[in-house]
Amino acid sequence: MSWLRALMFYTGVGISTLLLSPLAVLAFILPYETRYRIVSIWAPINLWWLGLTCGLRHSVEGTEHLPKEPAIVLCKHQSAWETLALNLIFRPQVWVLKRELLKIPIFGWGLAALQPIAIDRSAGKTAIQQIIEQGNERLSTGCWVIVFPEGTRVAPGQRKRYHLGGALLAQHTGKLVIPVTHDAGDYWPRNSLTKKPGVIRLIIGPPITTEGKSAAEINRKAEEWIESQLESIRLASRQTKP
């Protein structure tokens, strides 16, 4: 049944992508705010469909920590789930992502309409400068900047070095950093088609002030909070299982 449920879910994802991506291309002539509202419908539709087909839902904690002004979000990266869920919380938003994603047929069209910060990860200092310049511009226009500092999905229980791109943006702009963690990888494993039913916990942490702090210090504070909270989530989950 898990394979059948997954097949139903991905069929729905495919249909919604085929319908909305061409619409996103047509929406390029519209103002960004209108275009964003149209394209971002994709996320809540597919989260609803995920719950209906696979029995996988989520809870959000810590919304009282959200500042009034857009900030930089450093989020744990375990699966594709968080790329959907963050759209419900931080609106409008742009991602820092590898530019190859924009080349994916149909899906890449919709992604490009949201004006992401698409970098060449092999470009080194050039990529960092792009994050700082374009990130500052996006923040100034009222967009949240979403960064997955690990750069790739990391399996539960494993650790990967946190890159400095998001923290450098925070250092240069003085904007708050919002750490976010979750246990999606325990339910939506990377490189797995099937999904485990249950409730993913996503927690938004207290804002990290960045003025006068180095990028390394900002990164370290975010990493410590994200990883410690994740361990608490997973420990609580293990204790409640029969």
pLDDT digits (tens, 9 = 90+) for 199-217: 999 999 999 999 999 999 9
Its pTM stands at: 0.92
Instruction: Tell me the CATH class for 2-240.
Output: alpha beta
Mapping DSSP onto H, E and C, the string for the chain reads CHHHHHHHHHHHHHHHHHHHHHHHHHHHHCCHHHHHHHHCCHHHHHHHHHHHHHCEEEEEECHHHCCCCCCEEEECCCCCHHHHHHHHHCCCEEEEEEHHHHHCCCHHHHHHCCCCEEECCCCCHHHHHHHHHHHHHHHHCCCEEEECCCCCCCCCCCCCCCCCHHHHHHHHHCCCEEEEEECHHHCCCCCCCCCCCEEEEEEECCCECCCCCCHHHHHHHHHHHHHHHHHHHHHHHHHHCC
pLDDT digits (tens, 9 = 90+) for 172-187: 999 999 999 999 999 9
pLDDT value at position 150?
94
Positions in the chain short of pLDDT 50: none
pLDDT value at position 231?
95
pLDDT value at position 203?
98
